[in-house]
A and B are shown apart, each in its own frame.
Chain A
Amino acid sequence: MAELSQAQKDLLETIAGLTCMPGGAFNIRANGGLAERQVTEHINITSKTDKPGIDIHIAPETKGETCYIPVVMDESGMTDVVYNDFYIGDGADVTIVAGCGIHNCGGEDSQHDGIHRFFVGKGAHVKYVENHYGSGDGMGKRILNPVTEVYQDEDSSVEMEMVQIKGVDSTIRTTKSELAKGAKLVVRERLMTHGEQHAESVYLTELNGDGSSADVVSRSVARDNSYQKYTSRIVGKAECSGHTECDAILMDNARVLAVPELDAACLDAQLVHEAAIGKIAGDQLIKLMTLGLTPEEAEEQIINGFLA
C-alpha cells in the first residue's frame, strides 16, 4: 500500500479490517481516485465511463469470495460522489465489505456520498458490511450521505451490517430495498453519535413477492448533544412478513426520534414494528457494580454489549 498515506492506511484498517492488500477482488478509492484494484476469475470490477464509480460483476454460482470496496479520504475540503453498481449473478454467495473513512485535520468540510445499487440474482446470497468512521481534529466536518438501493430477485437473501461508531459529524443514510417472491432481507444497524453529531437513517423496504421477508433492526447510542432520526418504512404488497425495530440508549442531552411506518397493502402481509428509547436502567448499573465494576466501567460494558 505504498501509495496510501499513513492516515489512509489507518482508516482502511478501521473500516475494513485491512492491514495489507487482500487476496481476492478489491477496489480501494482514496481522495476521489482509484488507489488500487484487483479482480478475480469470478469478480470483475470496471470503472464507469460516464460518471465516477465502478461496476462490480459477480459471476453466477460464485461461492465464498469476499470483495472489498473501501473509500478513504484525508484531504480537507473535498467532496467525493461515487456511483457503484453491483451485479450479483444467480446462485452466488459472496461477502462485500464497503465503508468509508474520513480523516479531516483541516478547517473545511470533507464529504463522501456513495450511491450503491445492488442487483441480486435468483437464489443469490450477499452479506454486505458497511462501516463508517471519521477521525482528525480539524474544525471541518466529516460528512457521509450514502444511498443504497437493493433489488432482490426471487429467493435471494441479503444481510446488511451498517455500522457507524465514531467521528462522523453528519450523515443521512438512505437504504431502499425491493424484494421479489421468496426473497429475504436482514438489516442490522449499529450507530453511536457523540458531540454535536447528526445522524439520520432511512430504510424503505418494499415486500413485493409472496413469501418475501424483511427484518430491519437498529441499535443506537446517542451521547452528548447529538441527534438521531430513524425512519423505517415497510410496505407489504404480497403475502409477506416484515419486522422493524429501533432500540436506542439515550445519554446526556442527546435526542432520538424513531419513526417506524408500516404499510400493509395485502391482506396476507404481516408487519410488526417496535421502538424503545431510554437511558441506561439504574438496575443494570447496580447489577454490574455488585459484580465489582465502577459506574463508568458498568456504563461502558452496557454500551459495548449493546452495540456489539
Chain B
Amino acid sequence: MLELKDIVFDVTEDDGSTKRIIDGVSLKLDENKFYVVTGPNGGGKSTLARIIMGIEKPTSGQILLDGVDITDKSITERAKMGISFALQQPVRFKGIKVHDLINIASGKDLGTGEACEYLSAVGLCARDYIEREVNSSLSGGELKRIEIATVLARGTKLSVFDEPEAGIDLWSFQNLIHIFETMREEIKGTILIISHQERILNIADEIIMIADGKITKIGKKEDMMLDIIGATLEGGICGRMNVEEGGAR
C-alpha cells in the first residue's frame, strides 16, 4: 500500500557541506501489517517517518500510496489520503481542548461519549480529560496518549508513530505497550512504529533495521537477533528500563 522508491534526503550543514541523512531507501509496506522501524540513534528513522507524512521533502526519490505518487503532496493532502502521524514530541495548544483535537482528528463533531471512547482506548480516564486544554498542565505521558488517541480517531489506512516511548516515564510506558499490543490484535490498516523498545519489536510482523540512512535488514525478530544485538551494543536499542532515552530525529 505504501512504496518508497530510492528515497534520498540531504541536509546542508552550518559549514555549507551536505550531509546525507537518508541514502537510497526503497521499501514496500503491505496492507494491515504491523511494522517496526529500529536501529541506532541518528540512523535516519524519524526522518524517514517525517518524509512519509510530508513534513520533510526528499531530495530525490518517489513515494507511492496505493499506486498514487504522493511525493509532491502536502501534509494536509497526505492526511486526507489516509496517512496519520503521531509526533515524537506531542504539541501543546493553549485553549484547544482534548475534545476539540479529537473532533478535528475524526473530522466530525463527536458527542462526549464517542470522543471518550478514544481516550479510554489509550488508558485515560476519559471524563477527567475530555474538557481539559492540551496545555502544559498535562504530563508527557498524558500528552503521548492523547496524541495516540488522535491517530486512533482518524482511523486511516496508514498510521505512523515516531518513537511513542520517547520522553515518558516507566509507568506510562507499561500502559503504552499495552495500547500497541491491543492495536496489534485489533489491527485496522497498516501500522509503522519507529521504536527502540524490545517489547514493541516483539509484536511486529516485520522489523526494518535502519543505520546510516540505509535499510540494513528487514525480517522477523527471530531472524534479526544478531542485528538487534549489534545495534544494542552501539547504544541504539534500549532495554525496558531506559525508557527516558529518546532518539534523535
A301 to B104, CA, bound (A): 10
Return chain B residues, CB-CB under 8 Å to A287: 87, 90-91
Q: With A289-B76, A301-B104 in contact, do A306 and B91 touch (Cβ < 8 Å)?
A: no
B74–A283 contact, CB under 8 A?
A: no
**Cα–Cα, bound, A281→B55 (Å):** 14
CA distance A307 to B93 in the complex (A): 12
How many Å from the CB of A222 to the closest CB on chain B?
A: 16
Q: Which of A290, A293, A295, A308 contacts B95 (CB 8 A)?
A: A308
Q: Which residues of A contact B87 (CB under 8 A)?
A: 283, 286-287, 290
Q: Is A288 an interface residue (CB 8 A)?
A: yes
In the bound complex, CA of A247 to CA of B89 (Å): 22
Tell me whether A294 and B95 are in contact (CB under 8 A). Answer: no
Q: How many of chain B's residues have a CB under 8 angstroms from any CB in A?
A: 26
Identify which of residues 259-306 in chain A touch chain B, using a CB-to-CB cut-off of 8 Å. 281, 283-284, 286-295, 301-302, 304-306
Contacts A283-B87, A305-B94 given; indicate if A292 touches B80 (C-beta within 8 A).
Answer: yes
> Is B233 in contact with chain A by the CB < 8 A criterion?
no
The answer to whether B53 and A290 touch across the interface, beta carbons within 8 angstroms, is yes
- Count residues of chain A with CB under 8 A from any CB of chain B: 22
Asked, given contacts A283-B87, A286-B55, whether A291 binds B95 with beta carbons under 8 Å apart, the answer is no
Q: Which residue of B lies closest to A298 (CB)?
A: B76
Q: Is B75 an interface residue (CB 8 A)?
A: yes
How many angstroms from the CA of A109 to the CA of B105 in the assembled complex?
A: 46
- Shortest B78–chain A CB gap in Å is 8
Determine whether the beta carbon of A291 is less than 8 Å from that of B93.
no
Pairs across A and B, CB under 8 Å, 27 listed = A283-B87, A283-B91, A284-B93, A286-B55, A286-B75, A286-B91, A287-B90, A288-B104, A289-B74, A289-B79, A290-B83, A290-B87, A291-B79, A291-B101, A291-B105, A292-B79, A292-B80, A293-B104, A301-B96, A301-B100, A302-B93, A304-B95, A305-B93, A305-B95, A305-B97, A305-B100, A306-B93
B94–A283 CB distance below 8 A: no
Query: Cβ of B79 and Cβ of A290 under 8 Å apart?
Result: yes
Q: Which residues of B contact A125 (CB under 8 A)?
A: none
* Chain B interface mostly: mixed
Q: Is B94 touching A219 in the complex (CB atoms < 8 A)?
A: yes
Interface of A is mostly: helix
Bound: A281/B87 CA distance, A: 14
Most chain B CB within 10 A, of A281, A292, A307, is at A292
**Residues of chain A lying within 8 A (CB to CB) of residue B79:** 289-292
B195 at the A/B interface (Cβ < 8 Å)? Answer: no
Contacts of A295 in B (CB 8 A): 76
Q: Is B111 an interface residue (CB 8 A)?
A: no
Point out the residues of chain A lying under 8 angstroms from B104, CB to CB.
288, 291-293, 301
Taking CB atoms, residues of chain A closer than 8 Å to B154 are: 291-292
Cross-interface CB contact of A292 among B76, B89, B97, B101, cutoff 8 Å: B76
Best-surrounded residue of A286, A290, A302, A304 (most CB of chain B within 10 A): A290
Closest 4 CB pairs of A and B: A305-B95, A305-B96, A289-B75, A292-B79
Assembly CA distance A291 to B86 (angstroms): 10
B35 CB contacts on chain A under 8 angstroms: none
Measured in the bound complex, the distance between the Cα atoms of B87 and A290 in whole Å is 10
Cα distance A308–B93 in the bound complex, in angstroms? 12
In chain B, what residue has the closest Cβ to A308? B95
Q: CA A205 – CA B107 in complex, angstroms?
A: 44
